[in-house]
Amino acid sequence: MSDYLVQFNNISKFFGKVIALKGVTMKLRKGEIMCLLGDNGAGKSTLIKTLAGVHKPDEGEIIVEGKKIIFDSPKDALDIGIATVYQDLALVSLMSVTRNFFMGREPMKGPPFFKTFDIEKANKIAAERMGQIGIDVRDPSQAVGTMSGGERQCLAISRAIYFGAKVLVLDEPTSALGVHQASVVLKYIVKAASQGLAVILITHNVHHAYPVGNSFTVLNRGKSLGTYEKKDITREKLLSMMAGGEELDKLEVELKEMNRLSAQ
Amino acid sequence: MSTKSKSINTKTDTNQDERLKKVSKLKLLLNRPELGALGGAILVFIFFGIVAGDTGMFSAYGMLNFLDVSANLGIIAIAAAMLMIGGEFDLSIGSMIGFAGICIAIPAIYWGWPLWMSIVFAFSMAVLVGYFNGILVVKTGLPSFIVTLAMLFILRGATLALTRLITGRTQVPGLRVLIENDPVAWIFATDTFKWLFTWLGSMKLIALRTDGTPLATGIPPSVIWFIFLAIITTWILMKTRYGNWIFASGGDKIGANNVGVPVGRVKISLFIGTAVAATIFATIQVLDAGSADTMRGTLKELEAIAAAVVGGCLLTGGYGSAIGAAFGAIIFGTVSMGIFYTDVDTDWFKVFLGAMMLIAVIFNNYIRRKVTESK
Ligand SMILES: Nc1ncnc2c1ncn2[C@@H]1O[C@H](COP(=O)(O)OP(=O)(O)O)[C@@H](O)[C@H]1O
Ligand SMILES: [Mg+2]
């Protein structure tokens, strides 16, 4: 058996004429943070949606714990412990912290057929879990809309972990956050990985990815530019590999050339 | 590291903690969706208490009268509110009322079915219509506004065409004689607490007819159904898993789906709920009047939505309450009847209805911004 928890083998995905992904291969281990990098439209979200059960890949296969998997719905993926925190977080801002935390998996109490949502227990767990990551939810029945972006992100992540995620997929968790809040979220991600979760961290911000990642996969226009261990690649190299990197290099050369010409 | 805000905070000293907690409780109360409608209902009662306090509006008979009207509207408003919280509309409620009416009357009168079988038939049709509305909205992804608008025309047209085809007319009378001894009809046609009214009458506490029986004979079935539905739906919303799914489906259907909420099934069940509520409304009215009318229920869908909105439901879904819709229905029912006891021309009722709705929408919009306000 391989030591990889999740393997994407030659995944392709087409939306009509759009080739969103073409032959992408990526592997990750337990306890590892894999950063998936790439410019907007590179296909990052599409790739992880094939793992989350939102899209079925048109070519290639996904192997989880040595078994090829085919998901019919996001619920199938959740059931085997693949939790995805989407860009839009899947939080309902009008609903309370607790109701969001347990959305879809409410704790129940009472006799069969008269089971009710155990809101007291849910409140307690939600407050406790948020407390563990340093967010003191004074009133878990308050609307999520009143929380900051970082707190919401942490809520979505801690919900995924509470429900026994083995693989945690985070789609741009820091892109809408300020520096301070982003570092809070990143710290929490490292903590989650150290507890044995495999994490896929999607971002187009190398400065967020580099300090926390163990390995890096760069996507460009639906194709993988390869996966690199941290020791094998520098931040600068990653930066230039991301879409536009080479173009920016070329631009720099051209600008120098222009300056040289105008100086003459 | 510290994350500061009014209500979410890293641990500080406990005294401050307690103080803040109280503030957030008060804020919580103000954020309840039904608060506006409760306040509105109280204002309405105070208003009529002053201008019509001595007119008989608040006699037992008068009260049962406006409660009956409120309750009838409330039955469909509660279902409409549940559906709105789930993020959809049903414009076919009024047409469903007419359709359910003839589904009871035609089999019972023209085909010789026992009344209970016709009633069961009408409810089965309601489940079908609701399911069809729901599956169409869920599968096509079209706005429910359009899908159910189509159903509004289809159902009303079919009701008229079929009734004329089978009976040659547009009304079907003659049901009253069938109610007695029917094993099901009593659920929709019995006045309750008759003994109480008889007793009140014998004590000369309420108005009597010339023959000595009380003018108000009992609590009408609509009121019992209304109270029953208001309690059940509020319990569902607040205390059950399905309730949480309703809020989630209306608040963000993609998000809810992604965390495993069966959004499609939730929405379909809510469409079945509005059609069934329309049929409860129809059954009560048909048995009370003893006849079915193909035009019954016209425009009721809009009144139901108006009551739900006044009750605090957001048009965008994910927020609202069943009890709020119940208060909304009480406001409309009370004003529509109360206006007869004043010198005001009854034409003004519609003006009031519209104005109430506008105020409610503006108020709700403000509340929503408050609730979701990011820091
Ligand atoms: N559901 C969809 N239908 C059609 N095209 C899509 C869909 N989802 C993504 N795409 C397209 O696939 C490409 C990759 O998108 P995406 O995976 O969202 O990129 P990223 O997350 O890296 O920014 C884009 O060109 C996008 O327009
Ligand atoms: Mg994306």
Residue A198 falls within a domain, yes or no? Answer: yes
| A42 Cβ inside 6 Å of ligand 1 | yes
Residue of the CA atom closest to atom 9 of ligand 1 = A46
Q: Which atom of ligand 1 is nearest to the CA of A222?
A: 14
Residue B181 falls within a domain, yes or no? Answer: yes
Ligand 2 center from residue A242 Cα (angstroms): 15
Q: State how far residue A108 is from chain B, nearest Cα, in angstroms.
A: 8
Residue B64 falls within a domain, yes or no? Answer: yes
Ligand 2 center from residue A259 Cα (angstroms): 37
Nearest-by-Cβ selection for B244 from A54, A93, A117: A117
Q: State how far residue A137 is from chain B, nearest Cα, in angstroms.
A: 5
pLDDT of A161 higher than 80: yes
**Number of domains present in the structure of chain A:** 1
**Number of domains present in the structure of chain B:** 1
Q: Report the distance separating Cα A168 and Cα B204, nearest Å.
A: 73
Residue A138 falls within a domain, yes or no? Answer: no
Domain containing residue B324: 41-48+57-367
Where is mean pLDDT largest: A140-149, B66-75, B195-204?
Answer: B66-75
Which ligand neighbours the alpha carbon of A222 most closely?
1
Residue B24 falls within a domain, yes or no? Answer: no
Residue A64 falls within a domain, yes or no? Answer: yes
Residue B374 falls within a domain, yes or no? Answer: no
| A11 Cβ inside 6 Å of ligand 1 | no
Is the CB of residue A167 less than 8 Å from the CB of residue A78? no
Contact A136 B5 (CB under 8 A): no
Which ligand neighbours the alpha carbon of A172 most closely?
2
Average pLDDT over residues B268-287: 97
Question: Which B residues in the span 13-32 are in contact with A, Cβ-Cβ below 8 Å?
Answer: 17, 20-21, 24-25, 28, 31
* List of chain B residues whose C-beta atoms are within 8 Å of the C-beta of residue A74: 257-260
Residue B224 falls within a domain, yes or no? Answer: yes
Residue B274 falls within a domain, yes or no? Answer: yes
Residue A148 falls within a domain, yes or no? Answer: no
Contact A95 B248 (CB under 8 A): yes
User: pLDDT tens digits, residue range A21-63?
Assistant: 999 999 999 889 999 999 888 999 999 999 998 899 999 999 9
Candidate from B95-109, B173-187, B201-215, B261-275 with smallest mean pLDDT: B201-215
User: pLDDT tens digits, residue range A79-122?
Assistant: 889 988 876 667 888 888 999 999 988 999 988 888 899 989 99
Residue B266 falls within a domain, yes or no? Answer: yes
B206: tokens are: 């309420």
pTM of the model: 0.83
pLDDT of B13 higher than 60: no
Output the domain CATH number for residue A240.
3.40.50.300
Residue A157 falls within a domain, yes or no? Answer: no
Which ligand neighbours the alpha carbon of A88 most closely?
2
Per the listing, tokens 């007319």 go with B169
Sheet holding A167-171, edge to edge: A82-85, A167-171, A198-203, A33-37, A215-220, A223-229
What is the predicted pLDDT for the residue at B4?
Answer: 39
pLDDT band per the 50, 70, 90 thresholds, residue B29: low
Residue A209 falls within a domain, yes or no? Answer: yes
Output the domain CATH number for residue B192.
1.10.3470
ipTM comes to 0.75
Neighbours of ion ligand 2 (CB under 5 A): A 45
pLDDT band per the 50, 70, 90 thresholds, residue B12: very low
Domain containing residue A16: 6-94+165-263
